[in-house]
Amino acid sequence: MSVQYDINQAIYQVGDSVLSFSQMLNYFIDPAYKRGNLSRISDMHVKTGRPVSFRIDDDLTPMPGAADVTDEIIRYMLGILLSEKHLKIALSEDEPKDVDTAFEWEEHKVNFRLNIFRDRDGLAFVMRVLASDIPSIQEVGLPSDKIWQDITSLKRGLVLVTGVTGSGKSTTISALINHINLYRKTRIITLEDPVEFLFKSENSMVSQRQVGQDVETFSSGLRSALRENPDVIFVGEIRDTETASLALSAAETGHLVFSTLHTRDAKGALSRIVDMFPSEQTKSLCLQLSFSLSFVLSQKLVPRMDGNGRILAMEVLKNIPALGNLIRSGNWQQVYSTMETQSKEGMMTMEQHLLHLYQHEVISKESAITYTNEASLIERLG
């Protein structure tokens, strides 16, 4: 007789209560864990032998009073979350495999990205909430209106958003793209792994594709998209030489291309792109990058001093003529000083923004020092 999995069945001891899986998911939509329309909770971690934990403002926090999770409880949770096919794969002990999939919480129309795996203690999984509402540019909190106005009015060029995992890169890009969707008449194609925000076509026509489901890879999806008369393309991440080459060519030939990189600062994004290619191509790549690039936004999420979530700290690189000359020559060392002295062009270093946030008592001195890329900031803090 097969097990009947019920999302509302009480299964997990937390303090004096026994919660259903649905009640556990309520944490993701609890107003107590929101700042504006943005949730402060990004992930739920479930692991054999440990209490269920949530990532709140970047800290992994166990549920107060929660019991350690047993293998039996995890199996029941997975029965709720997975299709029969994926459940069989996840529970197989002969050929254990990771399972990447999605789950829709139908009661509240909330979507999650789900990764199931095994470690030495047994079964485990992580759920990441995929926001149903795309935040506005104002909610994201870019340092100035000029930045987003300049970017969303571009007809062509490459816009890179960089930062570590969980720094809000996709959120920033989605807000920028949705502004274009709302106020311009364009054809927008996104290539994502996974799809994190669901766009509704407004003034623009939007097509979203998921890598591994709708297209094989970012590069094959990008090659296909370029045949479909797009104005704006979002490539979820530049991971390889082929994707980088196609993105640069697309930007150079009249498309507005958004993408992400995992670099800690803006100048690192430039060298990362060039270093993807063989050294004999460096000169031509620097030349192409100087023509294709429009902006690099490098961002971090920094704890607010009042304890109410995190705030965006951002470095802004804009490809003005002086910077284009540095890119063509591969002179990465002077990029930072150029950004520092060209604030009138809309540029800003991470240190300048952190200092601004500290001086306006939004973040603490300790946070400013922790999140800086340059030790010189410490002297300016006094």
Pair 269, 160 in one domain? yes
Would the pLDDT of 206 be above 90?
yes
Pair 334, 225 in one domain? yes
User: Which pLDDT does position 1 carry in this prediction?
Assistant: 43
Per-residue confidence band for 98, with pLDDT thresholds at 50, 70 and 90 = confident
pLDDT tens digits, 99-122: 888 888 888 888 888 999 999 999
What does each C-alpha distance from 73 to 13, 25, 118, 236 come to in angstroms?
10, 15, 15, 34
User: Which pLDDT does position 203 carry in this prediction?
Assistant: 98
Instruction: For residue 110, give every residue at least 6 positions away whose Cβ sits within 8 Å of its Cβ, in sequence order, or none.
Output: 25, 28, 29, 104, 129, 130, 132
Would the pLDDT of 382 be above 70?
no
Residue 155 placed within a domain: yes
User: Which pLDDT does position 36 carry in this prediction?
Assistant: 63
pLDDT tens digits, 57-75: 888 999 999 999 999 999 9
Pairwise CA distance, residues 82 & 96, whole Å: 16
Residue 3 placed within a domain: no
Pair 36, 147 in one domain? no
State both tokens at 161. Answer: 């958003």
pLDDT tens digits, 79-94: 999 988 888 888 887 7
Provide the percentage of residues in the chain whose pLDDT is more than 70.
98
Per-residue confidence band for 37, with pLDDT thresholds at 50, 70 and 90 = low
We report the CATH number of the domain holding residue 284 as 3.40.50.300
Pair 148, 122 in one domain? no
Provide the percentage of residues in the chain whose pLDDT is more than 90.
74
Compute the residue count for the chain. Answer: 382
Residue 231 placed within a domain: yes
> CB of 309 within 8 A of CB of 40?
yes
We report the CATH number of the domain holding residue 51 as 3.30.450.90
Pair 48, 119 in one domain? yes
pLDDT tens digits, 270-291: 999 999 999 999 999 999 999 9
Would the pLDDT of 154 be above 90?
yes
Pair 236, 319 in one domain? yes
Pair 74, 200 in one domain? no
Q: Among 75, 107, 130, identify where a domain stops.
A: 130
> CB of 294 within 8 A of CB of 153?
no
Would the pLDDT of 297 be above 50?
yes
> CB of 303 within 8 A of CB of 319?
no
pTM (predicted TM-score): 0.84
Pair 101, 173 in one domain? no
State both tokens at 223. Answer: 């090659």
Q: Among 107, 130, 153, identify where a domain stops.
A: 130
pLDDT tens digits, 159-196: 999 999 889 999 999 999 999 999 999 999 999 987 88
Pair 45, 167 in one domain? no
User: Which pLDDT does position 90 carry in this prediction?
Assistant: 87
Q: Among 110, 130, 150, identify where a domain stops.
A: 130
**Structural domain count, the chain:** 2
Pair 149, 209 in one domain? yes
State both tokens at 121. Answer: 């203690």
Instruction: For residue 119, give every residue at least 6 positions away whose Cβ sits within 8 Å of its Cβ, in sequence order, or none.
Output: 47
Residue 1 placed within a domain: no
Residue 4 placed within a domain: no
